[in-house]
Amino acid sequence: MMRSFVDPMVLLICFLCISFSSAQSSCPQPAGLHAAAKASGKLYFGTAFDDPELSDLPFAALLNNTSDFGQITPGNAMKFDATHPTPTQYTLSRASSAVSLAAANGQLLRCHTLVWHSQLPGWITNPPTPWTNDTLTPVLQEHIHTLASAFKGRCAAWDVVNEALNEDGTWRDTVWYRTIGEAYVPLAFEVAAKADPSVKLYYNDYNIESEGAKAEGVRRIVKLVKDRGIPIHGVGLQAHLVSGSAPSTADLARVMVSYTALGVDAAITELDVRIKDADAGATAETRQATEYANVIKACKTVARCVGVTVWGISDRHSWVPGTFKGEGHALPWDKDLKKKPAYKAMIDAWMLGQICPMGGRSGA
Ligand code: XIL
């Protein structure tokens, strides 16, 4: 006599059917922003941090969560004033801690930054005798050589030159440009490349996320370096965006392609989307979420966009309120370390159109 039973094979097939059909509408949620970026074929999703923030333990736990952050950038610790306070003294301990943190967590490290007009020590900005080409050039060379050698093999990328351009695409009037001329830019890349031949060397700037005179200036810089046979590997788009006037996916993708067409990578290096205090609230956060997602979608579209870095995790530790009066609320986590709508919007943007593990395509 036959016993009635459910064939285990039938059960398995049914299970697969159900899994497959649910995967048609959305893939299983990835474990975090970095996991989602990797699933999209990108190298990383990351964040900047500043060393004092590490004593905020719940915050540090977010930073150390490699499902969300597979890359970190020290926000201040590697800058000129932090690393080279007097002509003969290098103070690399804060920078070294960032290197160790990235290594301990298995996160990629973006090193920031070698040549900039800001956060310079007094001995550079107010020298006892005015700088000349002959006196400043060796200072620039030694500084770059020392830092790039000290962290050789530890930085995935260096922001070699930061913010060298005015809004109209002309050279910014800095101590470097005034004294050395535009030659300081290729020189900086040349010294960095010799000190650490395997690191990716970037030009990094803001307001270059849409086409315009400044974007044209960026392309001029890439060509200036390349034409001299000196390596430059990428353009960093800081993307300090203003909610309400953030670029569309199409505009951002188009300008990124105009850079990568020159034979370099692109990275979003300092993303935040600031909101006026007066507008803060749920409606503003919804718009901000779309603006964050648009950046992710643009990076996805551009083959040589390698990854996205936010300039901080939580509104609790953000440079925005201190720099832009009456604005803030710029990061994906709020002051209480709660995720804002931008978080899920970015995950969904990374996953959009992904092939799910069980087959099907995410419609999230
Ligand atoms: C900011 C830091 O986040 C602040 O803590 C500091 O006071 C000023 O600099 N562009 C850059 C970053 O390349 O280095 C800046 O970081 C933000 C703008």
Residue-averaged pLDDT of the chain? 93
Q: Would you state the pLDDT for residue 360?
A: 63
Q: Would you state the pLDDT for residue 301?
A: 97
Mutate to test the pocket of ligand 1, among 270, 271, 274 (most ligand atoms within 8 A of CB): 270
pLDDT, mean of residues 124-132: 98
pLDDT, mean of residues 245-266: 98
How would you classify the pairing of strands 71-74 and 327-328? unpaired
Higher-pLDDT residue of 9, 96: 96
Q: Is 143 inside a domain boundary?
A: yes
How far CA 283 is from CA of 273, 321, 345, in Å, comes to: 14, 20, 14
What letter would DSSP give residue 280? -
pLDDT over 80 (residue 143): yes
Q: Would you state the pLDDT for residue 26?
A: 63
User: The domain spanning residue 99 has which CATH number?
Assistant: 3.20.20.80
Q: What's the gap in Å between 206 CA and the centre of ligand 1?
A: 11
Q: Would you state the pLDDT for residue 354?
A: 83
Higher-pLDDT residue of 222, 358: 222
Instruction: Write down the catalytic residue from 190, 209, 270, 291.
Output: 270
Confidence band of 3 (pLDDT split at 50, 70, 90) = very low
Judge if the beta carbon of residue 362 lies within 6 A of ligand 1.
no
Distant-in-sequence, close-in-space partners of 217: CB < 8 Å, separation ≥ 6: 165, 166, 169, 170
Q: What percent of the chain has pLDDT over 90?
A: 89
Q: Is 286 inside a domain boundary?
A: no
Q: Is 110 inside a domain boundary?
A: yes
pLDDT over 60 (residue 131): yes
Judge if the beta carbon of residue 75 lies within 6 A of ligand 1.
yes
Q: Would you state the pLDDT for residue 359?
A: 60
Q: What's the gap in Å between 102 CA and the centre of ligand 1?
A: 20
Q: Is 131 inside a domain boundary?
A: yes
pLDDT, mean of residues 39-49: 98
Mutate to test the pocket of ligand 1, among 76, 79, 111, 163 (most ligand atoms within 8 A of CB): 76
Judge if the beta carbon of residue 294 lies within 6 A of ligand 1.
no
Q: Is 230 inside a domain boundary?
A: no
Q: Would you state the pLDDT for residue 356?
A: 72
Q: Would you state the pLDDT for residue 12?
A: 42
Judge if the beta carbon of residue 236 lies within 6 A of ligand 1.
no
Confidence band of 362 (pLDDT split at 50, 70, 90) = low
Q: Is 214 inside a domain boundary?
A: yes
Confidence band of 364 (pLDDT split at 50, 70, 90) = very low
Total domains in the chain come to: 1
Q: Which two tokens stand for residue 337?
A: 């370390």
Q: Would you state the pLDDT for residue 51?
A: 95
Confidence band of 357 (pLDDT split at 50, 70, 90) = low
Distance, in Å, from the CA atom of 111 to the CA atom of 78, rounded to the nearest integer, reads 7
User: For ligand 1, what atom is nearest to the CA of residue 312?
Assistant: 3
Confidence band of 355 (pLDDT split at 50, 70, 90) = confident
pLDDT over 50 (residue 22): no
What's this model's pTM, rounded to 2 decimal places?
0.92
pLDDT, mean of residues 80-95: 98
pLDDT tens for 315-330 read 999 999 999 999 999 9
Q: Would you state the pLDDT for residue 116?
A: 99
Tell me which residue has its CA closest to atom 13 in ligand 1: 162
Whether the CB-CB separation of 85 and 20 falls below 8 Å is answered with no
Q: What percent of the chain has pLDDT over 70?
A: 90
For 127, phi and psi rounded to 5 degrees?
Answer: -70, 155
Q: What's the gap in Å between 356 CA and the centre of ligand 1?
A: 38
- Residues 279-289: b if buried by 16+ CB within 10 A, e if exposed: eeeeebbebbb
Tell me which residue has its CA closest to atom 7 in ligand 1: 319
pLDDT tens for 335-352 read 999 999 999 999 999 999
The secondary structure of 50-99 as a DSSP string is -GGGGGSHHHHHHHT-TTT-SEEEESSTTSHHHH-SBTTB---HHHHHHH
Q: Is 96 inside a domain boundary?
A: yes
pLDDT, mean of residues 224-241: 99
pLDDT over 50 (residue 113): yes
Confidence band of 237 (pLDDT split at 50, 70, 90) = very high
Q: Would you state the pLDDT for residue 9?
A: 43
Mutate to test the pocket of ligand 1, among 53, 80, 118 (most ligand atoms within 8 A of CB): 118
Tell me which residue has its CA closest to atom 14 in ligand 1: 75
Mutate to test the pocket of ligand 1, among 319, 320, 324, 327 (most ligand atoms within 8 A of CB): 319
DSSP reduced 3-state for 332:
coil
Tell me which residue has its CA closest to atom 12 in ligand 1: 75
Distance, in Å, from the CA atom of 167 to the CA atom of 214, rounded to the nearest integer, reads 6
pLDDT tens for 159-208 read 999 999 999 999 999 999 999 999 999 999 999 999 999 999 999 999 99
pLDDT, mean of residues 13-20: 38
Judge if the beta carbon of residue 314 lies within 6 A of ligand 1.
no
Q: Which helix (H) or strand (E) holds 214?
A: helix 213-227
291 flagged as catalytic: no
Q: What's the gap in Å between 353 CA and the centre of ligand 1?
A: 35
Identify the domain containing residue 182 by its residue range.
70-221
Tell me which residue has its CA closest to atom 8 in ligand 1: 319
Judge if the beta carbon of residue 343 lies within 6 A of ligand 1.
no
Q: Would you state the pLDDT for residue 363?
A: 55
Tell me which residue has its CA closest to atom 15 in ligand 1: 75
